[in-house]
Amino acid sequence: MEFQDKQATRVLLMATLAFAANFSVWTLYAVMGISIKETLSLSSTEFGFLLASPMLTGAILRFPVGFLCEIYSCRKLFIWQMIILIPAIASLPWVESYWGYIAVGLVTGISGVSFTIGIRYVSVWFESRQQGYAMGVFGAGNAGAAITLALAPLIIKYWSWESIGIFYAVGMAVMVVLFTLIAPEETAYMKKRRKTDISFHLAPLKQAQVWRFGLYYYFVFGSFLALLLWLPQYYMNTYKLDLETAMLFTLLFVTSSSMVRALGGWFADRYGGRTVNWSVFWVCLVCLFFLSYPPTTMIIHGVEKNVEFFININVWVFTFLIFIIGIAQGFGRASVYKVIQEHFPEHMGSVGGTVATIGALGGVTLPVFFGIAVDMFGIHTACFMILYGILAACMAVMYFSLKAEQHKKLLRDAIANNFLEK
């Protein structure tokens, strides 16, 4: 038993490190994209599509990879997934066109499936009462984005932004070697328990509950992805900050949101994933209300003179509200997967992959929506208006689904009581 505990610890450690390495690659355009935008003179819409290109592949492939995780060794899938990335990352210095960067972004987006592989790899090594915490620790690999936000600007400063690809290709190669040497394979018992019947893993996808979980994850993870990609240029355009300062503020958002995921898993284990989710949504709704409000000049016509008010959120208040949203989203990402594990413990690959796909689609669609909204309306805060609307939809769906479940429970109890009385 002690040996298996040590094995589980190695699994969690190496899966988290590998996920962090992959996530740093997946979010690379958050930094590189700014230099590419300036070099190629991209519009906000074109910039949104550039940011979305790695997210697209990572999102779409999460669904089929979830099923592969149910059939094949997750350890081997992890290794091959990282190996495929290396040539694409290394080719970045030789790309010169917009569509070339889009193409490379689509290939490096394969790094996004690391979450689906890792969540299935980790979940079988831990008991149900530890699942929330274990998946929360693994999910802290989102901090890989912090690696990019901290490291990439230094590479740009002392070398050039074109050289980033070589640094990251070498780093990924080192990660492949470490993972191969240290990460253990599943035990014979775990392999024996695998169910390889595809129909068994497809069955839960007929339930509306799975798609509701996907909608919640679209907000807590999809908007997290979109914000970490969008925030650097938002800070630079709205508050006229330089690149390093913008990255520092974005780094605060990403790091805090990623690090609290383990704590969110612990809270979900103790208080229930659904309770944590509902609390997360309310916190984000309040913050997004203030963030959505554009800079406004208000003139009140008084008796003797006009009184002018200027309403604007300064950079410190903005950063504080974003920080709170990041913390809440970190809790939310952990709690959603705790709820999935409670309802579908034998379908973490298929159901987890489906929910992860829907969530990652937020990283694809939202930057594009943000760019279109800014180009159409000319308001930087339009991105937060979009997030506010999405969150309101999530809360409405959760509220009515909870009401429906309570009604069914009361009906079952009433039928059971009538049966006992007879």
Angle at 131 (CA atoms; ends 125, 135), nearest 5 degrees: 90
Looking at the structure of the chain, the number of domains it has is 1
* Global confidence as pTM: 0.75
DSSP one-letter string for 1-70: -HHHHHHHHHHHHHHHHHHHHHHHHHTTHHHHHHHHHHHHT--HHHHHHHHHHHHHHHHHHHHHHHHHHH
pLDDT for the residue 369: 86
Q: How many other C-beta atoms lie within 10 A of the C-beta of residue 80? A: 12
> How far does CA 381 lie from the centroid of its chain?
21
**Alpha-carbon separation of residue 37 from 33, 46, 97, 211, 362 (angstroms):** 6, 9, 11, 35, 21
pLDDT for the residue 282: 93
Q: Domain range for residue 255?
A: 2-421
**Alpha-carbon separation of residue 183 from 45, 71, 121, 254, 363 (angstroms):** 42, 19, 10, 26, 29
Is the sign of the CA dihedral 15, 20, 21, 27 positive or negative? positive
Q: Long-range contact list for 368-377, CB < 8 A, 24+ apart?
A: 368/45, 368/48, 368/49, 368/52, 369/48, 370/44, 370/48, 370/226, 370/230, 371/43, 371/44, 371/45, 371/46, 371/47, 371/48, 371/49, 372/44, 372/45, 372/48, 374/44, 375/43, 375/44, 375/45
pLDDT for the residue 190: 61
Strand partners, 309: 298
In one-letter notation, the amino acid at residue 153 is P
Name, in order, each residue with C-beta under 8 angstroms of 391's C-beta and a sequence gap of 6 or more: 219, 281, 284, 285, 288
pLDDT for the residue 1: 44
pLDDT for the residue 3: 46
DSSP one-letter string for 173-210: HHHHHHHHHHSPPPPHHHHHH----HHHHHGGGGSHHH
Quick one: tokens of 192?
């024996």
Q: What is the distance between the alpha carbons of residues 422 and 418, in angstroms, rounded to a whole number?
A: 6
Strand partners, 310: 297
CATH of the domain at 378: 1.20.1250.20
> Residues 350, 204: contact at Cβ < 8 Å?
yes
Secondary structure in 3-state letters for 292-321: HCCCEEEEEECCCCEEEEEECCCHHHHHHH
Burial of 101 (0-12, 13-18, 19+ CB in 10 A): buried
Per-residue model confidence as pLDDT tens for the chain (422 residues):
444 567 888 888 898 999 899 988 988 887 888 888 888 888 878 888 888 888 888 888 887 887 788 788 888 899 999 999 999 999 988 888 899 999 999 999 999 888 888 888 887 777 766 766 777 788 777 778 778 878 877 887 778 767 888 888 999 999 999 999 988 887 665 666 666 666 776 777 778 788 888 888 899 888 988 898 888 888 988 888 887 888 889 888 888 888 787 788 778 878 777 888 888 899 999 999 999 887 766 677 767 777 776 667 888 999 999 999 999 998 888 888 778 877 787 776 678 778 888 888 887 888 888 888 888 878 888 889 999 998 998 888 888 877 776 767 666 656 656 655 55
Q: What is the distance between the alpha carbons of residues 56 and 109, in angstroms, rounded to a whole number?
A: 7
Q: What is the distance between the alpha carbons of residues 88 and 92, in angstroms, rounded to a whole number?
A: 7
Q: What is the distance between the alpha carbons of residues 93 and 95, in angstroms, rounded to a whole number?
A: 6
pLDDT for the residue 22: 92
Strand partners, 299: 308
